[in-house]
Amino acid sequence: MLEASGLSAGYLGENVVEGVNVQVAAGQAVAVIGSNGAGKTTLFRALCGMLPVSAGRVRFDGEDITGRPAHRVARAGLAYVPAERHLFPGMSVRENLLLGAYPGRPDPSAFELVLDLFPRLEERRKQPAGSLSGGEQQMLAVGRALMSRPRLLMLDEPTTGLAPKLARSAYEALQALKETGVTLLVAEQQVPLALSLADRGYVLETGRIRLEGASEDLERNPEVRRAYLGVA
């Protein structure tokens, strides 16, 4: 469904990620794991058109989307939820969700899916997004992205700023979402959580893919255990 080949991108002419190959098949959940500054956010921004690509190609659903502006990538069915969420703080929860369906009218089944997944949003629907707690804002960011019925949902560090218990329930929601058939690509520092959700994973280090494979293999890999799972 998503395929990046030889992808390089960065800021001010300096590549942060270099020659990255990533593949996500339909219906899969794929994790990109790595520490702070490994280039996960840069990679995601390049994939969804928020950041210009300096080399390589991105294909989505068989179509070349390299260099396409972000709003057109979003309309093509690739939704991106950044770690900073970028909600519309002065608008109500409901208005944020409505805009998620832009430019169309919101699909009632999409509303249902989002409110089933996050019943809290129903209670808060008239409140301004800026007044929500961190966990609720994360729910709203994912909910807004789902309103357009995307085929691929990319989440950058969905557990940012969440207490451990909330982080776990965020991943339970993602698991439920995966079971509805949405393809997921998740960047995460909390490696055990990410690998529990994902079918496959990539380990990103200083802008390059160090390792890739099925989640179980990565969990057993001594390097991954030492560097990311806190096992000596």
Partner 1 sequence: MKAVALDGIVLGLQFGLLGVGMTLIYGLGGVLNLAYGQAAVLAAMVVAITLTAGAPALVATAAGLLAAAAGGVVIDRTLMLPVYHQRGEHRVLLGLLLTLGVAFVIDGLLLWRYPTGALRLEIGGEAVPILGVRMRVGSLLASGISLVVGAILLLFFRATTMGRAARSVIQDEVGARLVGINPAAVRTFIFALSGALAGLVAVTRSMTSPVSVTAGFDFTILALIVAVVGGLGSVAGAFLAGVLLGIVSTVSAFYIGQYITTIVLLAATALTIVMRPRGLLGR
Site of interaction with partner 1 (CB under 8 A): 50, 69-72, 74-75, 79-82, 85-91, 95, 98-100, 102-103, 105, 144-145, 148
From the CB of 48, what's the least distance to partner 1, in Å?
8
Cα first-last separation, the chain: 37
From the CB of 129, what's the least distance to partner 1, in Å?
9
CB 131 within 8 A of CB 57: no
With the CA atoms of 136, 105, 92 and 146 taken in that order, what torsion angle do they form, in degrees rounded to the nearest 10?
10
From the CB of 56, what's the least distance to partner 1, in Å?
22
Contacts of 26 (CB under 8 A, 6+ apart): 1, 151, 183
Tell me whether residue 101 or residue 211 sits nearer to partner 1 (CB atom). Answer: 101
Tell me whether residue 67 or residue 69 sits nearer to partner 1 (CB atom). Answer: 69
Tell me whether residue 15 or residue 92 sits nearer to partner 1 (CB atom). Answer: 92
From the CB of 210, what's the least distance to partner 1, in Å?
29
Read off the tokens for 205: 């280090």
Q: Give the span between the Cα atoms of 183 and 24, in whole angstroms.
A: 8
CB 177 within 8 A of CB 153: yes
Tell me whether residue 66 or residue 215 sits nearer to partner 1 (CB atom). Answer: 66
